[in-house]
Structure 1
Amino acid sequence: MFEKRYRLNLVFNANKIYDRQVVEGIGEYLQAAQCDWDVYFEDDFRSRVDGLAHWKGDGIIADFDNPDVEALLKDSTIPTVAVGGSYQQKKDYPRLPYVATDNAALVKLAYDHLKQKGFTEFAFYGVPSTRYSRWAIERERAFIEQVSSDGYYPNVNLGLCTSAELWETAQNNLENWLDNLPKPIGIVAVTDSRARHLLQACDHLNIMVPEEVAIIGIDNESMARYLNRTALSSVEQGSKAMGYAAAKMLHRMLLGYAVDESLVVVDPVGVTARQSSDYRALNDPYVIQAMHFIRHNACRGVKVAQVVDYVGLSRTNLETRFVEEIGCSMHEQLHMTKFYRACELVTSTDLPFDEISRTCGYPSVQYMYTVMRKNLGMTPREYRISSRLGKSSIEGISQS
């Protein structure tokens, strides 16, 4: 009457956001299919390979981006589903049922996002080529091919491996590369982590983001999105969908269906655009400076007079230039910058609304409520609820 109670081993490094999301997708399938399985998962979240050869369970779902895991499991007699990155060459896939993230599609979404902003200069910041970074090599290749096919030059830097010992040297090398890139330029980072290195280096060099350098990462990692002052744009992988597909595939194998060498390539979810890529092509250098100051200081409660002092022009002169380039006054731009920051925090965090109002420079939470009702027709609480139901929209309100 009831299905057999299978024993499942998940071989992932859940210290990484991608792996955690894949595991979450596996769990969603087990709930949806009402699978009452015993799941083994390392307590400290690392994917230990020592005991894999002696695993006596019924099935395995494993991260084959790790070549050590692949070497141990590629000839496994236990039903195994591999999860990892996509490859340009079919011969590079393991001869096992395989669920892949589409590396070329991830890069294309990031590149197209920057291209649509009006950039004609592009760069890629990756990771050093090792046997553990095959997925990154695929993304680098995809970037070079896509940019070159459009007639642009692909600036590429793989940097150094991240470690406490090499951190200062790595950042110095990154700063030298950034300093010598043509500007303005859009940069695709191979992961959100590498994108954060870029943001920090730009801050040290006083390079304006996104006015001179626009940055987009890959992962859309919520845990670290606000570690830098500039909120990071990112491409979200379909990691949970990958986990769901892998669990479904393994379930079919356990029930006796043939899925030998099946390949499922999962599309990315899409781009989440934030401040780091919110580029607008501007011609007036004084307006560029004013926009940069507003982006980074509006939520600190600065006024138009402080923008004028920063740029160093008369108020009348700067206001005229600003309206001609942007289409609104500096006061209106300060207001909308705070408003969009508040909307982002309302929808992407669980922060109390009074804390959001302080963070965004509003004099009171009541004032923030008034602003959101005026612009959205709903309170912050209603907006948070509707956004999580997929019903919110602030289209038609300029965020330039």
Structure 2
Amino acid sequence: MAFQHLKGKGLQNFAFYGIPDAPCRRWASEREKAFKNIVAREGYASAVFRGNETSSGNWQYDMNRLADWLQRLPTPTGIIAVTDSRARHLLQVCSHLNIMVPDKVAVIGIDNEEVTRYLTRVSMSSVAQGSKEMGYRAAKMLHNILDTQANSENAALVPTARPRVMIPPSMVYERQSTDYQALNDPYVLQAMHFIRHNACKGIKVDQVLSYVGISRSNMEVRFKEARGHSIHQEIHNSKLKRACNLLTSTSLSINDIAEVCGYPSLQYMYTVFKKNFEMTPKDFREKSA
């Protein structure tokens, strides 16, 4: 699911950041093996890096090794991390090296851990496990076993061997770290990077132009050719996308979301949603539940 998500973004280079082999981590080896098989089957080249077990004693050394590996990868590359914690390593190193995420490196983790995804400046995409379904299925199986034994004249004769049940992941939660869009214009690429990370801080078009360093007329022409709309519209879209994501994936109050997304007031955010979706933020949240 993580691979198809990255491939669907138009990426053609793929990598995997795993964990060293250990008997207690067969699940990590299975994820790495699956990555290699899928990428080979699809006809793409790939790179794999496991690194070491991280600890306070070797942290800097390991991050330097990870940085060396990242800088050797072709760009743009989509990287699947074996866990959300490993994905966070990638985002931290990219920030330190000034590697643009997701424009040069797109990162997706696995497990969709609630806390981990808030620990990085760039919000992290992740694949959620089908944990609820696992619980439901396991409870149903246990109920059937107990029911069968209770109704059997000879419980010892009830067979205990049962087929393995595989529960698929539930979905990909897409956030900033994989919001990749293929762009060839380096100025538009820089502008998009700046907008993506600062739209919710209330930036204006002039600040984007100052960051990129070219004239407004030149930038607007380039932007419309690459994106089909103005820089101002891109800032608006980025804020609205962030608001929609927070409404559907968090329990933050609508007032807090308006503030986080850089809207001047709650009423202004209501006006934006009415104009774009013909519904209030509250209706949007309830409809998406």
- TM-score normalised by structure 1 residue count: 0.68
C-alpha separation between the residues in 1 aligned to 2:235 and 2:14?
Answer: 29
Residue 270 (structure 1) aligns with: 171
Residue 240 (structure 1) aligns with: 132
C-alpha separation between the residues in 1 aligned to 2:42 and 2:244?
Answer: 36
The Cα shift of 1:224 comes to 2.5
The Cα shift of 1:272 comes to 1.6
Q: Which amino acid aligns with 1:236?
A: A
Residue 154 (structure 2) aligns with: none
Which runs of 5 or more structure 2 residues have no equivalent in the other structure? 150-157
C-alpha separation between the residues in 2 aligned to 1:350 and 1:243?
Answer: 23
The Cα shift of 1:131 comes to 0.9
Q: State which of 162, 184, 195 in structure 2 corresponds to 1:283.
A: 184
C-alpha separation between the residues in 1 aligned to 2:189 and 2:160?
Answer: 56
- The structure where helix makes up a greater share of residues is 2
Q: Which amino acid aligns with 1:116?
A: G
Q: Aligned to 2:116, what secondary structure does the other structure show?
A: coil
Asked whether the 8 Å contact 1:233–1:277 carries over to 2, the reply is yes
Residue 222 (structure 1) aligns with: 114
Residue 11 (structure 1) aligns with: none
Q: Aligned to 1:156, what secondary structure does the other structure show?
A: strand
Asked whether the 8 Å contact 1:249–1:259 carries over to 2, the reply is no
Residue 244 (structure 2) aligns with: 343
C-alpha separation between the residues in 2 aligned to 1:254 and 1:383?
Answer: 44
Instruction: Give the number of aligned pairs.
Output: 280
Asked whether the 8 Å contact 1:183–1:213 carries over to 2, the reply is yes
Give the alignment's Cα RMSD to 1 decimal. 1.3
Deviations 1:240-289 (A, max 9, x none): 21122122222222232545132111111121211111111111011100
Residue 321 (structure 1) aligns with: 222
Residue 5 (structure 2) aligns with: 113
Q: Which structure 2 residues correspond to residues 299-318 of structure 1 after superposition, within 5 A?
A: 299-318=200-219
The Cα shift of 1:354 comes to 2.1
Which runs of 5 or more structure 1 residues have no equivalent in the other structure? 1-108, 389-400
Residue 376 (structure 1) aligns with: 277
C-alpha separation between the residues in 1 aligned to 2:138 and 2:15?
Answer: 34
Does residue 1:296 correspond to 2:188, yes or no?
A: no
Residue 4 (structure 1) aligns with: none
Asked whether the 8 Å contact 1:189–1:195 carries over to 2, the reply is yes
Deviations 1:264-316 (A, max 9, x none): 11111121211111111111011100000000011111111111111111111
Residue 125 (structure 1) aligns with: 17
Percent sequence identity is 57
C-alpha separation between the residues in 2 aligned to 1:198 and 1:377?
Answer: 39
Q: Which amino acid aligns with 2:251?
A: D
Q: Which structure 2 residues correspond to residues 1-400 of structure 1 after superposition, within 5 A?
A: 109-255=1-147, 256=149, 258-388=159-289
C-alpha separation between the residues in 1 aligned to 2:119 and 2:277?
Answer: 28
Bigger mean CA offset, 246-255 vs 320-329: 246-255
Q: Which has the larger radius of gyration?
A: 1
Q: Aligned to 2:95, what secondary structure does the other structure show?
A: helix
Residue 82 (structure 1) aligns with: none
Deviations 1:183-215 (A, max 9, x none): 000001111111111111111110101100011
Q: Aligned to 1:123, what secondary structure does the other structure show?
A: strand
Q: Which amino acid aligns with 2:214?
A: L
- TM-score normalised by structure 2 residue count: 0.93
Deviations 1:80-132 (A, max 9, x none): xxxxxxxxxxxxxxxxxxxxxxxxxxxxx111111111111100011111111
C-alpha separation between the residues in 2 aligned to 1:175 and 1:222?
Answer: 26
Q: Aligned to 1:127, what secondary structure does the other structure show?
A: coil
Q: Which amino acid aligns with 1:277?
A: T
C-alpha separation between the residues in 2 aligned to 1:170 and 1:239?
Answer: 31
Q: Aligned to 1:235, what secondary structure does the other structure show?
A: strand
Q: Aligned to 1:339, what secondary structure does the other structure show?
A: helix
Q: Which amino acid aligns with 1:378?
A: M
The Cα shift of 1:328 comes to 0.7
C-alpha separation between the residues in 2 aligned to 1:202 and 1:361?
Answer: 25
Bigger mean CA offset, 310-319 vs 155-164: 155-164
C-alpha separation between the residues in 2 aligned to 1:285 and 1:310?
Answer: 13
Q: Aligned to 1:133, what secondary structure does the other structure show?
A: helix
- The structure where strand makes up a greater share of residues is 1
C-alpha separation between the residues in 2 aligned to 1:152 and 1:350?
Answer: 40
